[in-house]
Amino acid sequence: MISDCASIWKNCLTVIREQVTAQAFQTWFLPLRPIRLIDNILTVQSPSKFHCEWIEQNHLEALASAIKKVMGENGKFEYYVPQPKPNTAAKSNNAVAQGAMTAPQQASGSYAQLPNRGKESNKFPLAPNTPKLEINPTFGAQTRYFKQFPINEQYTFDSFVEGASNQVAKSTAHTAANCMGRTAFNPLLIQGQCGLGKTHLAQAIANHAQKNYPDKKIIYTSAERFVTDYIQALKENNIQSLINLYMEVDLLIVDDIQFLSGKTKTQDTFFQIFNHLHQTGRQIVLTSDCPVAALKGLEERLISRFKGGFSATIEAPEQDLRKRYIMVRLSSEKQQIDPILIDYLATHFHATIRELDGLINNILIKSQLTKTTIDLPFIKAALNEVNPHESKVKMSIEDVQRVVAQYFKISVSDMLSASRRREIALARHIAMYLAEQYSEQSLTQIGFYFGKRHHSTVIHACERIKEAILKKENLVLEPVNCLLAKLRS
């Protein structure tokens, strides 16, 4: 049956290839693996749920027509998404080696939509007696044979809190870890500001590959450490050994690639390694704190290679992600606080995930040391300590409206009107934000002062301004800073 399954899927791929672009075919369809054919239902294994959802949303017609053409009107299709299975001593080596697969739920129609599979076991479970890292003192990169700074075992895909701002980055990272070198995500460049989770995802790829593919050689390093290794090898007249070491790997992960900037000789060596790995189908994963086009001091040939892969951006965390992250952190510490306080914290703290993590630590530690209950005044005090505007001044909404109107050279009545002109809408949003931050009025009262608007309008305006500040958008950041200076004076 396996051969029939593989043959049918091969024919389906031939049909699909004619209907989608080459990149879409390589990225989304080649990673799918046929695993069984029962009762005219073809089951294929997918790297992730997001992978299935993307196909459903963007290439459903091509998939459905291929199934119909190859399998006939009664042909059906379903996905199987494996989940990691704990390797417990209670199970025999034979059971671990074979694994098990719970049958996916079948959907109606000529193909199966994404079913709710529950907890399924892994088709490729962890191998027993996974070898420990051995150390070669010559270079610093970490694999099963070479050691760099340790990889944090807690940085896994399961522990990465997912939201709209990082979903694509997480999904492509998971796919790259499962299908090393066999997708268009090669190289995969994960980009974003500091503190948003790039290193977590990079190390999650390393941890996942190390556990699920024990025969693969993996190097996780940083660009800064690569430069150090290069200088050491240069001093010892041992550059070729360094190149050979990196050229042997199946998966290369380099964190903070921007640190290669300006180091021409090191870039030459990295280019040799990159080219060899890419041409031989090995997986390359890079992280950067800025987009490829903004990487200064890197040779154009490297920039061109990086652009040939896939760039996944991690954006600033949205409110829903901040809320879920707070809940996950509290759960991990076995702490419970009022859900209203969680909402307040997620709404009023707009920094990075790393800084949010630090704030949560400060709140929990201070509460334990002072034996103080975590209530709204306690949360507000903690927020005031980390607020970038060190001295909050209390002001009236009328003062805010007057100063903002003067800055934007409009009238207060314009600001309170229903006009949606860009400069008036921006002034109105900034004024609402400043009123919410620096007046003692409630959201409902602020809305009343701004033309009897609903409090949800105020929340929306504040969210837009806070996100723009976090992203350092000059159109918003410059007037906010100027207005704060005027209001304080």
Query: How confident is the model over 337-366, as pLDDT tens digits?
Result: 888 888 888 888 877 888 888 889 888 888
Query: Token pair 């290669």 is at which residue?
Result: 260
Torsion of CA 368, 370, 376, 377, to 10 degrees: -160
Per-residue model confidence (pLDDT) at position 95: 26
Separation between Cα atoms, residue 234 and residue 53, nearest integer Å: 48
| Structure tokens given for 66 | 């291929």
The model's confidence at residue 100, banded by pLDDT at 50, 70 and 90, is very low
- Given a cut of 90, whether residue 428 has pLDDT beyond it is yes
Q: Domains of the chain by range and CATH? A: 2-87 (3.30.300.180), 167-313 (3.40.50.300), 319-386 (1.10.8.60), 397-488 (1.10.1750.10)
Which of 90-99, 167-176, 180-189, 453-462 shows the lowest per-residue confidence on average (mean pLDDT)? 90-99
- Given a cut of 70, whether residue 402 has pLDDT beyond it is yes
Is the distance from CB of 175 to CB of 48 less than 8 angstroms? yes
Per-residue model confidence (pLDDT) at position 157: 92
Is the distance from CB of 369 to CB of 448 less than 8 angstroms? no
Per-residue model confidence (pLDDT) at position 36: 87
- Given a cut of 80, whether residue 398 has pLDDT beyond it is yes
| Structure tokens given for 378 | 């306690």
Could you report the per-residue pLDDT of 153-177, keeping only the tens digit for each? 889 999 999 988 898 999 999 988 9
- Given a cut of 80, whether residue 89 has pLDDT beyond it is no
- Given a cut of 70, whether residue 278 has pLDDT beyond it is yes
Separation between Cα atoms, residue 97 and residue 125, nearest integer Å: 7
Instruction: Give the CA distances from residue 211 to residues 87, 150, 202, 204, 206, in Å, rounded to whole numbers and listed in that order.
Output: 10, 15, 15, 11, 9
> Can you count the helices (H) and strands (E) in the chain?
21, 8
